[in-house]
A and B are shown apart, each in its own frame.
Chain A
């Protein structure tokens, strides 16, 4: 081990704390602003210390919404985001694990072409096919629905690749053993492969949940009804009106509420998060 001299160690601690301060400062300001009086903030007189309006502001944000005409309780937006994020995460894992299973454990005509068809979608992010996709979802009458919010995002080349890679490392003896026991392909998948994939599924779930919760462009396009808004879209609408009318404490409380679930997931399930992130990017 290369020894660090005392002075250099202090410098390292110091730089790291500066980094943490840079990273945390905007969020600290948001939390502080969400506990203050709007008039004070609008005048540019915001204090850098928490104010006394915490309960009032968060109560209004979650259960009532802004005072504007497009009033929508943020609690409802969070519910929409939660449903969307869960549908996307669970949907991606489910359809990817079964297609990876088919590709690895069966031999059938068009196996490789199908694999490539799935793989190439990596190169077709929603941003490059915005309006045609919108049109299809509109034609299928899925605007303003959970199906419309989640289905077009549910395919996953990354997840399929990941499961394929993992299945390749599962020893063949397991398959032979379960075959001797008289298990068919579905039994083997359910009793042997799924339990082995648990950690991979969990790591993937953490990443996909965050990605789903943080979706923005797609929900922005296909939701027109206020009660179908996700929180990311809702927060943008809160600052559309002229500046003077923006209720900043509520906007900031919404920002804090929008960050809470994914940040909680990262901090609490850090090991799975890091694993999932590194694996999906490989």
Chain B
């Protein structure tokens, strides 16, 4: 944790940590504390009086069918995004890990979408699949599908998942490739000498050795689906039609924006905080495993 050889100084170290500490306390801890306090309060409609209501805001949330649906929806989105993006990325990484001509070029051509911002991802996909002018919508209608994600909730959800998974391919690809390259090639040779065919080599050798990376990416993808899809949802559907694409983060945003129930919005924030703490905890446990596999 610390060096044997250190400097002796009384005030200098405090001066060095002061800027970071100031920002952390003012913009992280203070607002987080405010959210916690706010979540125990109830404000009347005019904001004139506030009263302490213990866990009423939380109880109200957990008995609210709409909130429950938002939780289920968020987890479903996370799962769908993670599974589709991870499987495609793994396939591509396994291919790119082979000794092929131009493998560096392949890597470059596959990793750049990491840099595309979520709102831009949303704009790109809604344009391609826009009901009246989308380039791909023509083909969908040609196939007899009544495609209108602006009116049909299930189609809107599918669109969000598709766009969000697309963006995450490059990230997952990069980490899978790094994971594959870390596996000693002699392991594959041994399996090949034992007569294992390529498909069998993948499932009995590669996949188990890659499982720490898979788990790590699973957590990262869930966190991504929870938080970074905000920009995608906001540019594509704004949580609609109805509430069919409203995730937990989007709900905090839109509930607070309408200036409605501050206490409820704060309680939602606190619940999200707890989820982040749990996910980060899991991530750290498995990162240690990742190093020692």
Q: What is A's interface to B at a CB cutoff of 8 Å? A: 1-2, 4, 8-9, 12-13, 15-16, 19-20, 22-27, 29-30, 33, 41-44, 46, 48, 94-96, 98-99, 101-108, 111, 114, 117-118, 121-125, 127-133, 135-137, 151-152, 154-156, 160, 167-168, 172, 175-176, 179, 184-186, 188, 210, 213-214, 216-217, 220, 232-233, 235-236, 239, 243, 248, 251-252, 255, 258-259, 262-263, 265-267, 270, 273-274, 277-278, 281-282
Are B114 and A43 touching (Cβ within 8 A)? no
Bound CA span A113–B188, Å: 47
Bound CA span A281–B221, Å: 12
For residue B124, which residues in chain A have a CB less than 8 angstroms away from its CB?
Answer: 26-27, 29-30, 255
Q: Which of B120, B132, B262 contacts A243 (CB 8 A)?
A: B132
Q: Separation in Å of the A135 CB from the closest CB of chain B?
A: 7
Q: What is B's interface to A at a CB cutoff of 8 Å? A: 2-7, 9-10, 12-14, 16-17, 19-21, 23-32, 34-35, 38, 88, 91-92, 95-96, 98-100, 106-121, 123-128, 132-135, 137-138, 166, 169-171, 174-175, 178, 185, 188-189, 192, 198, 220, 227, 230-231, 234-235, 249, 252-253, 256, 262, 265-266, 269-270, 272-273, 276-277, 280, 287
Can you show 21 pairs from A to B with CB atoms below 8 A apart? A15-B91, A16-B95, A25-B128, A29-B124, A44-B137, A46-B133, A48-B135, A102-B13, A106-B16, A118-B21, A129-B273, A131-B266, A132-B30, A136-B26, A155-B27, A172-B3, A236-B234, A262-B116, A267-B108, A277-B171, A281-B220
Are B24 and A216 touching (Cβ within 8 A)? no
Bound CA span A155–B31, Å: 14
Known A108-B10, A155-B28, A251-B123; judge A99-B20 contact (CB<8 A): yes
Q: Separation in Å of the A164 CB from the closest CB of chain B?
A: 9
Are A106 and B262 touching (Cβ within 8 A)? no
Q: Separation in Å of the A139 CB from the closest CB of chain B?
A: 10
Are A8 and B23 touching (Cβ within 8 A)? no
Are A235 and B262 touching (Cβ within 8 A)? no
Known A129-B32, A160-B20, A232-B120; judge A43-B166 contact (CB<8 A): no
Q: Separation in Å of the B94 CB from the closest CB of chain A?
A: 8
For residue B98, which residues in chain A have a CB less than 8 angstroms away from its CB?
Answer: 4, 9, 12
For residue B116, which residues in chain A have a CB less than 8 angstroms away from its CB?
Answer: 27, 214, 259, 262-263
By beta carbon, the residue of chain B nearest A13 is B100
Bound CA span A176–B277, Å: 40
The list of the 5 closest CB pairs from A to B, nearest first, reads A132-B31, A262-B115, A214-B117, A102-B16, A132-B34
Q: Separation in Å of the B186 CB from the closest CB of chain A?
A: 10
Known A48-B135, A127-B230; judge A20-B109 contact (CB<8 A): yes
Tell me which of B24, B113, B121, B170 has the highest count of chain A C-beta atoms within 10 A of its own C-beta: B24
Are A235 and B24 touching (Cβ within 8 A)? no
Q: Which of A19, A102, A128 contacts B32 (CB 8 A)?
A: A128
Are B109 and A23 touching (Cβ within 8 A)? yes
Are B14 and A108 touching (Cβ within 8 A)? yes
By beta carbon, the residue of chain A nearest B227 is A127
Are A8 and B127 touching (Cβ within 8 A)? no
Are A123 and B273 touching (Cβ within 8 A)? yes
Q: Separation in Å of the B21 CB from the closest CB of chain A?
A: 6
By beta carbon, the residue of chain B nearest A96 is B20
Q: Which of A12, A186, A214, A236 contacts B100 (CB 8 A)?
A: A12
Q: Which of B5, B31, B185, B198 contacts A133 (CB 8 A)?
A: B31
Bound CA span A44–B141, Å: 13
For residue B262, which residues in chain A have a CB less than 8 angstroms away from its CB?
Answer: 131
Are A117 and B21 touching (Cβ within 8 A)? yes
Are A232 and B133 touching (Cβ within 8 A)? no
Q: Separation in Å of the A30 CB from the closest CB of chain B?
A: 6
Are B127 and A33 touching (Cβ within 8 A)? yes
Known: A30-B124, A273-B111. 16 other contacts (CB 8 A): A2-B188, A12-B100, A13-B100, A29-B127, A44-B132, A44-B138, A98-B16, A111-B13, A117-B29, A124-B29, A127-B272, A155-B24, A155-B28, A252-B127, A270-B108, A278-B174
